[in-house]
Amino acid sequence: MKSAMAAPYHHGSLREALLDAAVDLVVERGIEGVSLRELARQAGVSSAAPYRHFPDKDALLRAVAARGYQRFDQALAGVAEAYGSAPALERVQRLGIAYVCFAVGQPNLFRLIFGPAVQGGGLDAELDEARHRAASHLPRALAELQAEGIATSSSIHELTELAWALVHGVATLYLDGLVGDGQPESAERAAERVTRQLAALFRAE
Protein backbone atom coordinates (compact mmCIF):
# COMPACT_ATOMS: atom_id res chain seq x y z
CA MET A 1 0.00 0.00 0.00
CA LYS A 2 1.31 3.42 -0.91
CA SER A 3 2.21 5.45 2.14
CA ALA A 4 -0.32 8.12 3.07
CA MET A 5 2.59 10.35 4.09
CA ALA A 6 3.58 10.66 0.43
CA ALA A 7 0.18 12.10 -0.47
CA PRO A 8 -1.61 13.44 2.63
CA TYR A 9 -5.35 12.99 2.81
CA HIS A 10 -7.69 15.94 2.88
CA HIS A 11 -9.94 15.95 5.92
CA GLY A 12 -13.01 14.67 4.05
CA SER A 13 -11.17 12.10 1.97
CA LEU A 14 -9.48 10.59 5.03
CA ARG A 15 -12.83 9.47 6.46
CA GLU A 16 -13.74 7.81 3.17
CA ALA A 17 -10.33 6.16 2.91
CA LEU A 18 -10.63 4.84 6.46
CA LEU A 19 -14.14 3.61 5.78
CA ASP A 20 -13.04 1.86 2.58
CA ALA A 21 -10.28 0.14 4.54
CA ALA A 22 -12.71 -0.81 7.32
CA VAL A 23 -15.17 -2.36 4.84
CA ASP A 24 -12.32 -4.40 3.37
CA LEU A 25 -11.30 -5.57 6.85
CA VAL A 26 -14.84 -6.68 7.70
CA VAL A 27 -15.23 -8.47 4.37
CA GLU A 28 -11.91 -10.30 4.83
CA ARG A 29 -11.83 -10.93 8.59
CA GLY A 30 -15.25 -10.24 10.08
CA ILE A 31 -15.89 -7.72 12.83
CA GLU A 32 -13.50 -9.50 15.18
CA GLY A 33 -10.64 -8.55 12.87
CA VAL A 34 -11.42 -4.83 12.97
CA SER A 35 -9.77 -2.36 15.30
CA LEU A 36 -9.05 1.33 14.99
CA ARG A 37 -5.35 0.62 15.39
CA GLU A 38 -5.37 -1.92 12.56
CA LEU A 39 -7.45 0.46 10.46
CA ALA A 40 -4.83 3.19 10.90
CA ARG A 41 -2.12 0.74 9.87
CA GLN A 42 -4.04 -0.33 6.78
CA ALA A 43 -4.64 3.28 5.74
CA GLY A 44 -1.07 4.33 6.48
CA VAL A 45 -1.96 7.05 8.99
CA SER A 46 -1.19 7.70 12.64
CA SER A 47 -2.93 5.62 15.27
CA ALA A 48 -4.80 8.74 16.44
CA ALA A 49 -6.17 9.67 13.00
CA PRO A 50 -9.20 7.30 12.92
CA TYR A 51 -10.49 8.72 16.20
CA ARG A 52 -11.06 12.09 14.55
CA HIS A 53 -13.80 10.47 12.45
CA PHE A 54 -14.90 7.45 14.50
CA PRO A 55 -14.82 7.92 18.28
CA ASP A 56 -14.88 4.18 18.93
CA LYS A 57 -15.21 0.81 17.25
CA ASP A 58 -19.01 0.85 17.57
CA ALA A 59 -19.20 4.07 15.55
CA LEU A 60 -16.90 2.59 12.94
CA LEU A 61 -18.99 -0.57 12.64
CA ARG A 62 -22.17 1.48 12.23
CA ALA A 63 -20.55 3.32 9.34
CA VAL A 64 -19.44 0.03 7.77
CA ALA A 65 -22.94 -1.38 8.28
CA ALA A 66 -24.40 1.58 6.39
CA ARG A 67 -22.15 0.63 3.47
CA GLY A 68 -23.25 -2.98 3.85
CA TYR A 69 -26.92 -2.03 3.72
CA GLN A 70 -26.24 0.10 0.64
CA ARG A 71 -24.79 -2.95 -1.10
CA PHE A 72 -27.72 -5.04 0.09
CA ASP A 73 -30.15 -2.44 -1.20
CA GLN A 74 -28.44 -2.49 -4.60
CA ALA A 75 -28.73 -6.28 -4.76
CA LEU A 76 -32.46 -6.16 -4.01
CA ALA A 77 -33.04 -3.20 -6.30
CA GLY A 78 -31.54 -5.27 -9.10
CA VAL A 79 -34.53 -7.62 -8.77
CA ALA A 80 -36.93 -4.76 -9.48
CA GLU A 81 -34.93 -3.83 -12.56
CA ALA A 82 -34.70 -7.37 -13.87
CA TYR A 83 -38.26 -8.46 -13.01
CA GLY A 84 -40.16 -5.17 -13.07
CA SER A 85 -42.73 -6.48 -15.56
CA ALA A 86 -43.11 -9.90 -13.91
CA PRO A 87 -46.05 -10.82 -11.63
CA ALA A 88 -45.58 -9.64 -8.05
CA LEU A 89 -45.39 -13.21 -6.76
CA GLU A 90 -42.38 -13.92 -8.94
CA ARG A 91 -40.73 -10.70 -7.75
CA VAL A 92 -41.27 -11.76 -4.13
CA GLN A 93 -39.62 -15.11 -4.89
CA ARG A 94 -36.70 -13.42 -6.66
CA LEU A 95 -36.20 -11.04 -3.75
CA GLY A 96 -35.92 -14.04 -1.45
CA ILE A 97 -33.33 -15.68 -3.68
CA ALA A 98 -31.37 -12.42 -3.98
CA TYR A 99 -31.45 -12.11 -0.19
CA VAL A 100 -29.83 -15.51 0.26
CA CYS A 101 -27.33 -14.93 -2.55
CA PHE A 102 -26.20 -11.69 -0.92
CA ALA A 103 -25.63 -13.50 2.36
CA VAL A 104 -23.58 -16.17 0.62
CA GLY A 105 -21.57 -13.67 -1.40
CA GLN A 106 -20.96 -11.21 1.46
CA PRO A 107 -21.15 -13.37 4.61
CA ASN A 108 -19.24 -11.06 6.97
CA LEU A 109 -21.15 -7.97 5.88
CA PHE A 110 -24.41 -9.91 6.19
CA ARG A 111 -23.57 -11.00 9.73
CA LEU A 112 -22.65 -7.41 10.61
CA ILE A 113 -25.79 -5.71 9.30
CA PHE A 114 -28.06 -8.21 11.03
CA GLY A 115 -25.90 -8.66 14.11
CA PRO A 116 -26.17 -7.10 17.57
CA ALA A 117 -23.28 -4.67 17.05
CA VAL A 118 -25.35 -2.29 14.90
CA GLN A 119 -28.92 -2.81 16.08
CA GLY A 120 -31.04 0.01 17.43
CA GLY A 121 -32.03 3.18 15.62
CA GLY A 122 -31.20 6.81 16.13
CA LEU A 123 -27.44 6.44 16.60
CA ASP A 124 -26.43 6.94 12.97
CA ALA A 125 -28.67 8.68 10.43
CA GLU A 126 -26.85 7.19 7.44
CA LEU A 127 -27.25 3.69 8.82
CA ASP A 128 -30.94 4.22 9.61
CA GLU A 129 -31.60 5.48 6.07
CA ALA A 130 -29.68 2.64 4.42
CA ARG A 131 -31.46 0.05 6.57
CA HIS A 132 -34.85 1.57 5.74
CA ARG A 133 -34.19 1.57 2.00
CA ALA A 134 -33.06 -2.06 2.00
CA ALA A 135 -36.02 -3.13 4.13
CA SER A 136 -38.55 -1.43 1.86
CA HIS A 137 -38.26 -3.82 -1.09
CA LEU A 138 -40.10 -6.82 0.33
CA PRO A 139 -43.12 -4.97 1.82
CA ARG A 140 -43.49 -3.03 -1.44
CA ALA A 141 -43.54 -6.24 -3.49
CA LEU A 142 -46.00 -7.81 -1.04
CA ALA A 143 -48.29 -4.78 -1.30
CA GLU A 144 -48.29 -5.25 -5.06
CA LEU A 145 -49.02 -8.93 -4.50
CA GLN A 146 -52.12 -8.04 -2.52
CA ALA A 147 -53.13 -5.52 -5.17
CA GLU A 148 -53.18 -8.48 -7.58
CA GLY A 149 -55.63 -10.25 -5.22
CA ILE A 150 -53.18 -12.73 -3.65
CA ALA A 151 -52.68 -13.27 0.12
CA THR A 152 -55.26 -10.66 1.03
CA SER A 153 -56.27 -12.30 4.31
CA SER A 154 -53.04 -11.27 6.07
CA SER A 155 -51.51 -7.87 6.72
CA ILE A 156 -48.40 -6.68 4.90
CA HIS A 157 -46.59 -6.78 8.23
CA GLU A 158 -47.53 -10.44 8.79
CA LEU A 159 -46.57 -11.42 5.24
CA THR A 160 -43.25 -9.61 5.57
CA GLU A 161 -42.45 -11.40 8.83
CA LEU A 162 -43.22 -14.77 7.25
CA ALA A 163 -41.20 -14.20 4.07
CA TRP A 164 -38.30 -12.64 5.96
CA ALA A 165 -38.16 -15.45 8.52
CA LEU A 166 -37.99 -18.07 5.79
CA VAL A 167 -35.26 -16.53 3.65
CA HIS A 168 -33.22 -15.25 6.60
CA GLY A 169 -33.42 -18.71 8.09
CA VAL A 170 -32.09 -20.31 4.92
CA ALA A 171 -29.26 -17.76 4.72
CA THR A 172 -28.26 -18.21 8.35
CA LEU A 173 -28.45 -21.99 8.29
CA TYR A 174 -26.25 -22.04 5.21
CA LEU A 175 -23.67 -19.69 6.72
CA ASP A 176 -23.61 -21.82 9.86
CA GLY A 177 -22.98 -24.95 7.81
CA LEU A 178 -26.30 -26.57 8.70
CA VAL A 179 -27.75 -26.76 5.19
CA GLY A 180 -26.16 -27.15 1.79
CA ASP A 181 -22.79 -28.54 0.82
CA GLY A 182 -20.71 -25.39 1.20
CA GLN A 183 -21.20 -24.36 -2.42
CA PRO A 184 -23.10 -21.16 -3.22
CA GLU A 185 -25.26 -23.02 -5.71
CA SER A 186 -26.70 -25.21 -2.94
CA ALA A 187 -27.78 -22.12 -1.00
CA GLU A 188 -29.47 -20.71 -4.08
CA ARG A 189 -31.26 -24.03 -4.66
CA ALA A 190 -32.44 -24.01 -1.05
CA ALA A 191 -33.74 -20.46 -1.50
CA GLU A 192 -35.57 -21.50 -4.64
CA ARG A 193 -37.24 -24.40 -2.82
CA VAL A 194 -38.30 -22.25 0.13
CA THR A 195 -39.64 -19.44 -2.02
CA ARG A 196 -41.66 -21.93 -4.08
CA GLN A 197 -43.29 -23.16 -0.87
CA LEU A 198 -43.83 -19.55 0.19
CA ALA A 199 -45.55 -18.83 -3.11
CA ALA A 200 -47.79 -21.87 -2.60
CA LEU A 201 -48.76 -20.58 0.87
CA PHE A 202 -49.62 -17.17 -0.52
CA ARG A 203 -51.75 -18.64 -3.29
CA ALA A 204 -53.62 -20.77 -0.74
CA GLU A 205 -54.62 -17.84 1.46
In the chain the domains, ranked by start, together with CATH numbers, are 10-55 (1.10.10.60), 70-204 (1.10.357.10)
12: confidence class by pLDDT, cuts 50, 70, 90: low
pLDDT in tens, 97-134: 999 999 999 999 999 999 999 998 888 999 999 999 99
pLDDT in tens, 137-172: 999 999 999 999 999 999 999 999 999 999 999 999
Question: Angle between the 156-175 and 88-105 helix axes, to the nearest 10 degrees?
Answer: 30
| More reliable by pLDDT, 164 or 181 | 164
8: confidence class by pLDDT, cuts 50, 70, 90: low
Compute the half-sphere exposure of residue 153: CA atoms within 13 Å on the CB side of its CA. 5
CA angle 38, 34, 180 (to 5 degrees): 140
pLDDT in tens, 46-96: 899 899 999 999 999 999 999 999 999 999 999 989 998 999 999 999 999
The pLDDT of residue 88 is 95
pLDDT at 5 over 70: no
Beta-carbon count within 10 A of 137 CB: 21
For residues 156 and 142, the answer to whether their CB atoms sit within 8 Å is yes
pLDDT in tens, 184-204: 899 999 999 999 999 999 988
Of residues 108, 92, 122, the one with CA closest to residue 191: 92
Q: What is the DSSP string of 80-108?
A: HHHSTTS-HHHHHHHHHHHHHHHHHHSHH
The pLDDT of residue 193 is 95
Q: What is the pTM of this model?
A: 0.89
The pLDDT of residue 2 is 39
